Structures are given as structure tokens and as C-alpha cells.
Amino acid sequence: MAFLSGLSAFPITPSDRDGHVDTAALKRLVARLCTAGVDSIGLLGSTGTYMYLSRKERLRALNAAIEETGGNVPVVAGVGALRTDEAVRLAQDAKASGAAAGLLAAVSYAPLTEDEVFEHFSAVARESGLPIVIYDNPGTTHFRFTAALVERLSRVPGIVAIKNPTEKSEQIASHLAQQRSTTPRDFSIGYSGDSNAAQAMICGADTWYSVLAGILPDVCLRIVRAAQNGDVENARGNDARLAPIWEIFKQFSSIRTVYTMADLLGVCQAEPPRPILPLPFSAKEKLAYSLNLLGQDLT
């Protein structure tokens, strides 16, 4: 899965208050990513509000995005669901639409055991035939993948990669080394958590799964390419310029922030699905000021 490397950009999924996807706006977002040259597009991730959309609307979004790429940029589609049979159907939809892989989280209402998560992931990979990326997102699922579980899953046919969270930058190198030592050589190891992702790429991670890249791909690509080329100073310098954005992410959440960014940059006007509310006005002003301050660094 060579495409599971570099920068994977995760755009929002613009929709109305009834959960009907605005495919024209989504195509504009995807077109920006294709023009920038991202390595893959992460559609219907958490930023893409997959859990707030029906199966029908997810499929509409996926078809629109893949049509816009023209098959030139791989799409990793969120296929998470509470029920295993539903996740299987979503993964089958994604494969039929031309998605390159599925992103699967351990979403649940009742807390899940490791054996339950193992069986869930194994069933989706087996029954859909779609390559599966493990989505470890304990902040929303309240389930954390242990090293032992990742090792087990990495050896299941069809499970090809992991999207790890980044919480403490000083722990990334040891975490990555541990995961590399217990998973197959061709198993792709990537990280999300934008404010620490530059460090992950500098440490040798395969992929940055990026929220910010879904709306500002160029500056994120500069960080990734610098890290891939061993230019640590350049990677850190570009990341440092984004510090005001990382602070807003931490204070107000990345999802609310990128919806507002899309509006401020004139890409599309959309609000996150309720009950999530848009950024308060004071935060929007702070974000507009930060974007203006960054100026040419964003292009």
C-alpha cells in the first residue's frame, strides 16, 4: 500500500442541517487537495463527520469525491459504525465506489473488549475485501489500542495500516520504534494530531493524517516533504509558523476551526452537524487574525 505514506488530507463534509451533503462544495475542497498534490485524501473521517451521516449520504459524498479526483489521488474512506454488519456494508460501498482503503474506528456505545475489537476489524476486512486502516482515536471512541492488539490486527489479511493519535511529542519516537518492531515490514504506521505530526514525520512515520491539510494542504505538504528529505530545520520552521493555528485547535477543537477556515478562505460556507456549534464570534476573529498574520506562509 505505497499510497499510505506522505500526507493524507482530511477535508470536512459540507452538509445542510438535515444531513444532506453539499457535493458541489465537497468537490471544491477535493479539487484544492488534488491541485496541491497530496498523497491521499481521507474522506469521511472524524473531521468529515462520518458518524453524523446516513449510509446514503456517505455514499453520495464518496462518489462525488472520487469523481473529482479522476482516479488520480487515492481516497481512504471512513467506514466506522456501531454494528459490525453495518461497517461491512459501508466498507463494501467504499470498495465498489473505488476507494483505495477504509478507515475503521472502534466506535461503540457499550465499552468493547480487545477480543471484540479484534473480531470486528477482522470481519470488516474479510467480508468487504477493502484494505483497512486501523483508526485509533481514544478521544472520541474511549477505546485505546494496546500494543498487543495492534500486533494481532497487523497480521490479519487486509489490515494494512494504522492511524495513531499523538499526545506527547517526546514519546513519539519510542512509540513508533515499538510499533515497527512488532508489525510486518509493509504495515504502514501513521499519526494524526496535527500539532505533533511534524515530530512524527521527522521521527520516520509513514503518514501524516492531517485535519489542517484538508483546508490548507500546501503548508502541510512543505512540512511532510521536508521531513521526508531529512530537512528537519525546514520541517520544524514551517510547523512553528502554524503555532497560532495549533493553539486554536487545542482551545476550540480542530473540527470547529476548519469549518470556520473554509468560510474565511472563501472555499465554502457550511456549519458542523448539530449539536456541534460553530466557533463563537470571538474565536472566529482570533482565527481570522491568525490567518492574516500567517499570510503567504499558507500558500
DSSP 162: E
Which residue in the list 163, 191, 259, 284 is annotated as catalytic? 163
Q: List, as residue ranges, the binding site.
A: 47
Q: Choose the catalytic residue: 50, 135, 209, 259.
A: 135
Burial of 124 (0-12, 13-18, 19+ CB in 10 A): buried
User: Would you list which residues are annotated within the binding site for pyruvate?
Assistant: 47
**Is 27 in the active site?**
no
Q: Which of 133, 34, 122, 126 is nearest to 77 (CA)?
A: 133
Q: What is the rounded distance in angstroms from the CA atom of residue 202 to the CA atom of residue 105?
A: 26
Q: Is 50 a catalytic residue?
A: no
Q: Are 4 and 189 in contact (CB under 8 A)?
A: no
| The Cα angle at residue 64 between residues 58 and 70, in degrees rounded to 5 | 135
Spell out the residues 6+ positions from residue 43 whose beta carbon is closer than 8 angstroms to its own. Answer: 10, 11, 13, 61, 62, 65, 75, 76, 77, 78, 99
Task: Report, as residue numbers or ranges, the catalytic residues.
Answer: 135, 163
